[in-house]
Amino acid sequence: MFFLRRLRDLREDNDLNQTVLAELLKITRQQYSLYETGKREIPARYLGTLAKYYHTSTDYILELTDDTKPSTPPYKKNLSA
């Protein structure tokens, strides 16, 4: 497993503690800490919840991109046309 540096960075940048995020996810602070330190793999449903909470993408949290804004899927781009 890998250390999710961005989880910690996002939390700290928003002046939050692990307890707040654990409550959001309805888990214990200890369990959240294990995700943040990479000692346990974070479930996809929690990644999605955190991405929505932070207004970013799961790809950004997983360090697959440096773009903080989620991209708009192609099928949603043409809705106003």
Q: Which pLDDT score is estimated for 70?
A: 74
Question: Residues 40-63: what's their mean pLDDT?
Answer: 94
Q: Which pLDDT score is estimated for 33?
A: 96
Under the phi-then-psi rule, with left for phi > 0, alpha for psi from -120 to 50, and beta for the rest, what region is 58?
Answer: alpha
What would be the CATH architecture of the domain defined by 5-65? Orthogonal Bundle (1.10)
pLDDT tens digits for 55-76? Answer: 999 999 998 999 988 766 655 5
pLDDT tens digits for 8-29? Answer: 999 999 999 999 999 999 999 9
Helices (H), the chain: 5-13, 18-25, 29-36, 44-54, 58-61, 74-77
Residue 15 φ/ψ, nearest 5 degrees: 50, 45
